[in-house]
Structure 1
Amino acid sequence: MSDDPPTPPTDLPDDLGDGLEQCSPTRLRQIAEYAEALAAFRERNDRLDGADDGDGEHADRAHRREDGPENPPDGVPSKATITVKEINDNRYYYWQWRDGEQIRSQYEGPVDPA
């Protein structure tokens, strides 16, 4: 790991970048988890609406869903969607769903079980 701080995306609003700079590592991890869940939620809504978000990923998201697990396990509602998270250069399936105001997720397994 580098001794230099990471470089934010060039199009990140200054106020958001400044706010993140003030956060503790714990808070940053909470924000990252929330951002991942929010992105999955919006992707699911886009997929259900048949929308392409303009970056050409709509077809890719549909393809990933087809390749993922078919049926949620016990304790995961049928409305849950499968998402792919990359952690330490490894990709994993997670079920995600909305529970009231919160986004819930449950680990499913590796994308490439090799």
Structure 2
Amino acid sequence: MLPSGLTDECRSLSADQLRVLAKYAESLAEHQDRHEDEKEATKNEPDDRPDDVPAGASVTVKEINDNRYRYWQWRDGDRIKSKYIGPANPDD
């Protein structure tokens, strides 16, 4: 449900303005969906981030010789750095 003030404003817009508004609204909705997905993903990250791991780091799972391991991973200039966390859980 849209606020009545917003619907009243929309009634005064031309068809072209409404199309632009629709594109903007779709783009904004996609952005907010991505933001929510990122927030959900960070909820699953360990809270005990080491001091030498930057805040922007994410957790990734790598498979090596049929074993799965969790790593912190982040970009440092042109390089990607990682730090071992431990074995991955089966549901990771």
TM-score (norm 1): 0.40
Higher RCO (C-alpha 8 Å, min separation 6): 1
Is the strand fraction higher in 1 or 2? 2
TM-score (norm 2): 0.48
